[in-house]
Structure 1
Amino acid sequence: MTGRDHGGQDNSLRALFTPKLVTVLREGYGLAELRRDAIAGLTVAIVALPLSMAIAIASGLPPSHGLFAAMVGGFIVSALGGSRFQIGGPAGAFIVLVATTVATHGPGGMLLATAMAGVILLVGGFLRLGTYIRFIPYPVTVGFTAGIALLIAASQMKDMLGLAMPGGDPPALLPKVQALWAAAPGLNPLAVAVALAVIILIAGMKKLRPNWPHYLIALVLVSALVQLAGFQVETIESRFGGVPAALPSFSMPPVTLALVLDLLPTAFTFALLGAIESLLSAVVADGMTGRRHRSNSELVAQGVANIGSAFTGGMVVTGTIARTATNVRAGAHGPVAGILHALFLGLFILVAAPLLGLVPLAALAGLLLVVAWNMAERHEFGRLLASSRGDALVLLTTFLLTIFEDLTIGITAGVALGGILFIIRMAEAGGVAQDVLTFDVADSARPGRQPYEPGAGVPVYRMEGALFFGVASAIGAVLDAAPARGHPLVLDLGAVPFLDSTGARTLVDAAARARAKGLGFWVASANPAVRRALLKAGIRTHRPHFRATVSDALADIAEADGADNGGAGRNGGAVPPVTGQISA
């Protein structure tokens, strides 16, 4: 099965599933690239070390589960994945799900569910289901992410406050709040002080020294202070007996038919969230670097990584946005950085295991509260609430169901509600589309539409139809490559009757990339509703130029070029615009 898409990209089966590691090595790999990857891998390992322990402990597991997941899963994700920069490992998004599974089925049941999720991801990748993960509406993603962040924060209150809860820490939110209130008289002020010290140190370093490994530095400083002062707070060693100075080894989780059937819904939830998180992380890396990931190859790697993690005493593995972004900012060249990050983690365990046991649990709780705060996407949550009643309804439905019912129910309900609202919007937009076409100035010979005037040789992208979550990813893929041409970007939206928040976010991201390259961004012929949606989505930050017609936009560009080139303009102003049509 071979073929190429309209952009000349190889869509053969082999190309779709070739790991990016193979691609990078084929391009040529030498000492300079290895040096960059080694520095990035060490940087990410320093960030991953405290996070992996904190996530495992918050999930009701010994810290070794998180460390082994980061080592084995991180190695496999980088070696087999479809993203150059993806860093795999345990993620905060899974804390509540894993904790619930451990409480119900024990660590062995969690490992079996992780292996089953790996098989589901593996099959999903080979069936090319990664393509369809992109169709989840943006308000759904923001809603369940904010819900998970709230649940993570609630799960850390016990250790942050130093509370003893003989009856256990209930996983559900309302029973948890009741249990915390009942245990409140036993509050430990020293534990609160330790957690607050970590939060303050992380926030301060992030502002004053953003390139420093603030998580690790904060834990080291606070842990040293606790030991020197002799504070009576619970540590990793006092609860779990320390961190073993050993590398992961093969171990088979318990398997029975009854347990497999019982864990099947949990495994599907693990797989769904893992697919969403890993592909979101890959998209973030694409936006930071201008590269494109292979979504189905990434799912296959995530599947193998979860199977490997389950059989080596780890936990659920996925792509981690914060660590992936750190990898990019540290100057990684390719997947070798992720492989080295896993090896560095193994070295840290062998060398520093006795010291890791001295870390206070309240300090790890403070760290995870910072993670939850960063996960919550507060600004996007508020922006979506104000954007439209439909987006606000989808957002709040997903958010509330995630925190009070179940993540899978929240995502399913959000997607279903988003689909219903899309149908309603399409029905309402039918008349609008006919009116818009009469004033648009475009490049086709369609009745009522005039050809573009000769312009400055810049690309003009004409979009047709509703720009909604189902097509936003495809349009984003086309616009991603536009800044690489070095020309201003002109969008003709005259035939777009409306766009939802996912479509608006796609265009805002395109404007951000154009601005990052120092290029202009023009929006032409947008109707008032489309323009309002873009402004509410925050496009104003990236200084777009709104014009009534494409000809007005091209005239602006030609005038600016003429001023820069002594009146000659780019290519003498004789080359007509390069036009492309994107049908939504």
Structure 2
Amino acid sequence: MLPDGRRWRGDLLGAIAAAVVSLPISMTYGVIAFAPLGEGYVSAGLLAGIYGAICASLFTLPLRGRSLLALGPRPGTSLIFGSLVAQVLTTQALASGTLLVPETARASMAIALGCCAVALAGLMQFAVGALRGGSIVKYVPYPVVSGFINASALFIILGQVWPLLDLPRQGTVLALADMWREARPLALIPGLAAFGLMFLPPRWLRGVPPLVVALVGGTLVYHGMHWALPDAAIGATLHHLPNWHPGLFIFQVDYSFLTPEIALHLFLLILPASFSMALLASLDSLISLTVLDDMLGRRSDPSRELASYGIGNLATALVGGVMTAGGMNRTRPALYAGATTPRYHVMAALLMLLVLALLSDFISLIPHAVIAGLILWLGFGLFDQWSLALLRRFRPRRIAAQADAAIDLGIIVAVIGVAVLFDLVMAVGAGVALSVAIFVLRMSRSVVRNATRGPRAREQKFLSEARREILSQHGDRIAVLTLEGALFFGTIDNLERRIEALVGDGVRYLVLDMKRVTYVDLTAARVLGNVQKGLGARGGLLTVSYVPRPGDFVALDKPRSGISRNAQRLAAVVEASGALAAIGPTRFFPDTDSALAQLEERLIGDMLGRGAPSWRRGALGATLLKDLSPADFTQLRGYVHREIFAPQEVICRQGDTGSSAYFIHHGRAEVFIRLGGARQTKRLHTLTPGALFGEISLLDGKARTASVIAQTPVVCYSIDRDGFARLRTEHPEIAGRLLQNLCIILSQRLRDANDLIVELEA
């Protein structure tokens, strides 16, 4: 850490650099804000810009913490301020014929309303920051911001035609076609001189900011021309600064003419301007704050910063300043000069006040054309580099492959077009509305990641031959739709049509896998209830996986542990919409395998009820007991043990040492493994009558690789290593058949695993 003396010196040098850079920038953006008032108010605009930079530096400090981001007027908000002023000036009367603003008070009222808009924008910023919503403004689509920035640059450049040619300002640059004969070309020279000096190599300037060099150089060129050509028309200089000292400017204006009708109209006039200024200033500031944090290796609180910016803009409005925001063009010089603490903001503000007090008489020597030349340079530098790079990379002949780039460019062009045809405030609103519409259309694409039917949708469980035969013949009645993304009013229609097509193709049992679904709105949830009604009318059934019943989150050491927060949120929405009751609470499952298990049992039951092939008492149809005669069964009784397990009872536990294999005669059990640690489990299989498990420990005698838990009352027959060894010795033929059948079972499992891998890769 630097010694305190060195830090004070560094902050002072940083304050000097910030003040030197901020003064001309603030002056030019103040001129832009007051431009609709005419040349008589250029000096007032200069003052408003400087007041904005000073107040923002002073009044934001108590809330800002350690932030080093320098504040001041910005081009976008200055243009919106100017647009609002122009609206007040051009609106003569209301629809009822009532005079909006008296002619004698129109200019001061326009400025006061602009300041009111700044104050309201500051309150908006403070409210959002106080409510911890500092990150919300970052969700404005960047193409909208880019379009606004480019439109602002275009307006700034075109707006300098009038002072550069020493012509009275008109509403549109097209008016130049009728006024070109009145232009004074000599007025261009000082402005172009200032513009050209901005491009001097940095090594020639020896640390002096280019804006200062251009301002002084352009002014000297003007007065040199005036001395050499005293009778030539080379344009006018700025007026003396008005007697406009800091004070509660908003309250110094006469509002006696206001009626409720006029007040309401004026409020509706400033409201969209305030919102647009608050939005753009917040975006500008927070983006600059992110860049600064990356430079300094720290992390600022965006909500706290936004609240402080709101306080600063409220104070700025009260003294007649224009809207301010943070920017790196003011901050970098201060950092490079040595600023390390926020107190350099106060020093810079005091220095600007000192300059304003000592050099105010010299401001009247600056020509309008020189200010215009500086603004022209700032305008060309304002064009958004991201959009320009996007335009350079765009190839119209490859529009299909560059659809996203084409859409972004379309939004940018649309925002610029609305700004040109109407105004900047409407352009922001139109751009956001267009982006939202495009977002909804993009999100309305199918949310179905993939669809599986028949054997490919089969639940991962060990089946007897009879059950496998039923599912092989009729399994295409079951389908699984794996969904991803947001399930909302814009996407649910496509999903509903997809389900209707499956039902028309014979599907009666449907699983909606919602593991990758990030959001469900009430509209989509209600439609799911309607889908269940349609399937139920056809004798079918809808189940939903990865959306368990709310509250159905059992202890972590039980099978269905590890329910994600996203699943809980989805479950809450489904319950609130009424879909939980429509579909049925028992039709929601923590995973797809569980849902498929129930649907397969339902399908098998339905098929058996229609006369489909059956199996002999469950066990007799099992692969393990294939080719065993009744006499062989009689011999086996002396080597196996009959065991009964209650629901949720652990039959065998992962990690335990075991030596027995189990054969399910009746009931259903599920297989789980532990993932990562003891608190996370994953369900693997469902075991039904005829299933064999525990054979690995029977063969190698090592620890169990998974846990098996009864889901219904389960009747098992078990055989341990000693019993099987005796069977091999005393009845080698029976043991040989069992081993042969075990090999068939293991090979079938290997084939199923291969099929699953192929499906996942596909």
Query: Do both share a fold (TM > 0.5)?
Result: yes
- 1:61-105: CA deviation from partner (whole Å, max 9, x where unpaired): 412111111111222234433672221121222232222222315
Aligned length: 404
**Structure with more helix by fraction:** 1
- Of the three residues 197, 201, 224, the one matched with 1:201 is 197
- Of the three residues 372, 375, 381, the one matched with 2:379 is 372
Q: 1:366 to 1:287 in 2, by over 3 A?
A: farther
For 1:492, the equivalent position in structure 2 comes to none
Aligned counterparts of 1:335 and 1:106: Cα–Cα separation in 2: 35
For 2:131, the equivalent position in structure 1 comes to 127
Query: Counterparts in 2 of 1:12-411, with a 5 A limit?
Result: 30-60=4-34, 61=41, 62=44, 63-81=46-64, 84-103=67-86, 104=88, 105-163=109-167, 165=168, 168-170=169-171, 176-206=172-202, 209=205, 211-230=207-226, 232-237=233-238, 240-242=239-241, 248-253=246-251, 254=253, 258=263, 259-378=266-385, 380-383=387-390, 386=394, 388-411=405-428
Aligned counterparts of 2:11 and 2:246: Cα–Cα separation in 1: 24
Please tell me whether the aligned partners of residues 54 and 368 of structure 1 are also in contact (alpha carbons under 8 angstroms). yes
Structure 1 alignment gaps of length 5 or more = 1-26, 171-175, 435-464, 467-495, 497-584
* 1:127 CA drift (Å): 2.1
Aligned counterparts of 1:430 and 1:83: Cα–Cα separation in 2: 46
Please tell me whether the aligned partners of residues 29 and 78 of structure 2 are also in contact (alpha carbons under 8 angstroms). yes
* 1:423 CA drift (Å): 4.8
Structure 2 alignment gaps of length 5 or more = 35-40, 89-108, 228-232, 395-401, 452-483, 486-515, 517-762
Please tell me whether the aligned partners of residues 44 and 341 of structure 1 are also in contact (alpha carbons under 8 angstroms). yes
Aligned counterparts of 1:332 and 1:28: Cα–Cα separation in 2: 11
Structure whose CA Rg is larger:
2
Q: 1:57 to 1:233 in 2, by over 3 A?
A: farther
TM-score, length-normalised on structure 1?
0.63
- In structure 1, what residue type is equivalent to 2:175? A
- 1:258-307: CA deviation from partner (whole Å, max 9, x where unpaired): 04454223222222222222222222322333332322112211211111
- Which is worse superposed, 359-368 or 334-343? 334-343
Q: 1:93 to 1:348 in 2, by over 3 A?
A: same
For 2:542, the equivalent position in structure 1 comes to none
- In structure 2, the residue corresponding to 1:204 is in which secondary structure? coil
TM-score, length-normalised on structure 2?
0.49
- In structure 2, what residue type is equivalent to 1:35? R
Query: Counterparts in 2 of 1:482-497, with a 5 A limit?
Result: none
* 1:110 CA drift (Å): 1.5
- In structure 2, what residue type is equivalent to 1:117? A
Aligned counterparts of 2:196 and 2:184: Cα–Cα separation in 1: 19
Aligned counterparts of 1:419 and 1:433: Cα–Cα separation in 2: 27
- In structure 2, the residue corresponding to 1:52 is in which secondary structure? helix
**Structure with more strand by fraction:** 2
Aligned counterparts of 2:155 and 2:203: Cα–Cα separation in 1: 26
Aligned counterparts of 2:30 and 2:13: Cα–Cα separation in 1: 26
Aligned counterparts of 1:56 and 1:86: Cα–Cα separation in 2: 20
- In structure 1, what residue type is equivalent to 2:303? N
- In structure 1, what residue type is equivalent to 2:240? G
Please tell me whether the aligned partners of residues 53 and 64 of structure 1 are also in contact (alpha carbons under 8 angstroms). yes
- In structure 1, what residue type is equivalent to 2:69? Q
Please tell me whether the aligned partners of residues 33 and 322 of structure 2 are also in contact (alpha carbons under 8 angstroms). no
- In structure 1, what residue type is equivalent to 2:13? I
- In structure 2, the residue corresponding to 1:89 is in which secondary structure? strand
Please tell me whether the aligned partners of residues 86 and 285 of structure 1 are also in contact (alpha carbons under 8 angstroms). yes
Q: 1:425 to 1:404 in 2, by over 3 A?
A: same
The sequence identity of aligned pairs, in percent, is 26
Q: 1:394 to 1:100 in 2, by over 3 A?
A: closer
